[in-house]
Every structure is written in C-alpha cells, then in structure tokens.
Amino acid sequence: MVTTAALAIATTGTPALDTGTSRVASLVVVTLTPASLGGLRDATGLRAAELQQMQLDRYAGTVLDLSGVELGREASLTAVAARERMMPTWSRACPPCLRRDGVWPLWWRLGIAAVCPLHRRLLVDVCPRCGVRLLRGASGSRADC
C-alpha cells in the first residue's frame, strides 16, 4: 500500500510529515514495484517515466549500486543503504537552495552529496534553525523553519 507520506516523497522528493510509524515504504523513494508505479501513476496523473526519475535508482550503475535490493522487500534496503551511504529515510539539504527553490533534489539523498555546487557550502543534516534532523517523518519538524 502506498501511504500519503510515501506518495508525497515520491512526487516531490520532500521528506514529509508522517502520522504513521516507520512502516512508510522506504523503497518508494529508491525504486518502484510495477504495482506501486501503477498506483502512483493513477494517484498523481504523472507519467511512469516521470515517477521513475524521482527514484534513487535513476543513479543505479553510476554513483549507486543497488544490487541486493529486492523489489517489494524493504528489509533488503537496510544493508544496501548502509553500504552505499544513501539516505532513503532522511536527506541532507542546502538551506539557500531550499529558500530559493523550495525543492528537495533527489541527489541530496546520495552518500556522495556533501557540497552544494551552486552555493559552495556544505549540505546540512539538521535544520540550522531548530536543530531537527532532516528525517522523513521527523516529529518536531516545524512548518515555519
């Protein structure tokens, strides 16, 4: 089942507030099963190709090795995420980029994401204002930061 939060992440790449538990499908931002792709396509009206561009597997074979990830089995993601240092459940961010664009680029979830090439500054792991970690579904996230 695709949750609202997972849908928000898949469609915007943005960590969304989640009222549920950590059962939110981490794989949604990594790769899509045919069923979840179909569901997202129906729910959002976006084309399959557009939805696939929002998944980390677009980097597979370049900066990301997703071997070991089994479609539909989220547990398989844990070891691969650690190995690849990718961030399916959290993200780094460039505050000036966020202020300017309001967009949360997918590459900020890659382990190699360290510096914003535009602003030439280190990406942050926590909100510089309130200190909340940029975690998907983090409690304590403030809408006004």
Closest CA to 82 of 2, 18, 26, 137: 26
DSSP secondary structure letters along 103-115: ---GGGGSTT--E
- Other C-beta atoms within 10 Å of 109: how many? 26
Query: Which DSSP letter does residue 123 get?
Result: P
CA–CA distance, 142 with 130 (Å, rounded to integer): 8
From candidates 7, 87, 97, 110, binder to Zn ion by CB under 5 A: 97
Please give the residues from 107 up to 126 whose contact with Zn ion meets the rule CB under 5 A: 116, 118-119
| Contacting range for Zn ion; rule: CB under 5 A; set: 27-35, 48-56, 78-86, 97-105 | 97-105
| CA 91 to mean position of chain CA atoms | 7
Binding-site string for Zn ion from residue 40 to residue 59, where x marks contact by CB under 5 A and - marks none: --------------------
CB of 126 to Zn ion, least distance (A): 8
CB of 142 to Zn ion, least distance (A): 5
Under a CB-based contact definition with an 8 Å cutoff, are residues 9 and 56 in contact?
A: no
CB of 102 to Zn ion, least distance (A): 12
CB of 70 to Zn ion, least distance (A): 35
Pairing of strands 121-122, 115-116: antiparallel
* Count of residues in contact with Zn ion, rule CB under 5 A: 11
Binding-site string for Zn ion from residue 124 to residue 143, where x marks contact by CB under 5 A and - marks none: ---x-xx-----------x-
Binding site for Zn ion (CB under 5 A): 94, 96-97, 116, 118-119, 127, 129-130, 142, 145
